[in-house]
Copies of this chain bind each other. A is one copy, B any other.
Amino acid sequence: MKKGSVKERRTIKGERIETEAVKGVLKQVLIGREDGAENYIMRLLTVSPGGHSPRHQHPWEHEVFILNGEGKCLLDNEWHELSKGNAVFVPRGVLHQFVNSSKNEDFEFICVIPNVEEN
């Protein structure tokens, strides 16, 4: 049996995402399948100034906690201002997007998703 893991965010390799739909996003998996996580996955998303996650929806939920910076999120058809200490629940099927509102500071948040293939 695995005895668990302790990691430091600065040492975790990330994936930089730049597509038509995504701008300036670094995704790091803090706790994933390789650690033995079977049910849900904890990621750290860092969005650069001017950056954003895709505006999309999917049949699984997000549980988010804002660590740093100033941003906003779309939930269905409504925008919400976000800063450190906010928690956001995105139910499955709900249209959503996260945007960095700051001109000079990263927008960082924890995002927990179920262990699904597409995330």
- A4: B residues at CB distance < 8 A: 75-76, 88-91, 94, 96
* Interface membership of A21, Cβ < 8 A: no
Are A30 and B65 touching (Cβ within 8 A)?
yes
Identify A75's interface contact among B3, B67, B76, B78, CB under 8 A. Answer: B3
B40 contacts A9, C-beta separation under 8 Å:
no
Q: Are B42 and A39 in contact (CB under 8 A)?
A: no
- On whether the beta carbons of A2 and B91 are closer than 8 Å, the reply is yes
| 11 additional A-B residue pairs with CB within 8 Å, beyond A4-B89, A5-B87, A36-B91 | A2-B91, A3-B94, A4-B75, A5-B88, A7-B87, A9-B86, A37-B63, A40-B63, A42-B63, A42-B65, A63-B112
